[in-house]
Amino acid sequence: MLKATDLWLTNFGRTTTYQPPSIDLRDRFAPLIKKGLSGGEAARRLQVSAATGGRLACQIRECGSAPVAPSGHPRGTGKLAACVVFFKELVERGPDITLFELQDALACAHGVSARHSTIAVLLKRLGFTQKIAGYRRTSAQHSKAVPPGVDRAPCPGDQGCS
């Protein structure tokens, strides 16, 4: 049974994610509220739920409009946020380093465990792409060339690492 806090809603047997009301609906909703209609009455006229009408009416009364709120977690607040410089240095020093080697180096240097797929998403966000020869920066974000023959970066703090 789904709870009100679940983000997944069922729609005739299909699972769908919550979609906020469209900008068009918000634009049609605002004049009705400003005319003095209640959120429920405006919702009935626009054929949306009373709960959606109430939420939009509150936003319009407080802010004057009903902007779409950003969804998801804020960027740069994950557990790898403090390790961005570490990853940039490792990949620029040794572009042929694998995700699993990056994962081991992260655990060794910072004591943080992360899946290789999470590291891949971070590297993609930083502008690195994986080519056959290794990771490379995209041309727009390429700051300096990695000299050929650079050895793979050793794990900082190699004392306790195996």
pLDDT number for residue 41: 94
Higher pLDDT: 127 or 155? It is: 127
3-state secondary structure 12-62: CCEEEECCCCCHHHHHHHHHHHHCCCCHHHHHHHHCCCHHHHHHHHHHHHH
Q: Is the pLDDT of residue 113 over 50?
A: yes
Nearest to 49 by CA among 114, 4, 115, 109: 4
Does the structure show a pLDDT above 90 at 5? no
Per-position b or e across 149-159, b if 16+ CB within 10 A of its CB: eeeebebeeee
Q: Where are the domains of the chain?
A: 8-63, 81-160
- Could you tell me which CATH class the domain 81-160 is placed in? mainly alpha
Calculate mean pLDDT across residues 16-27: 81
For the entire predicted model, the pTM comes to 0.47
Query: In this predicted model, which residue has the larger pLDDT, 72 or 37?
Result: 37
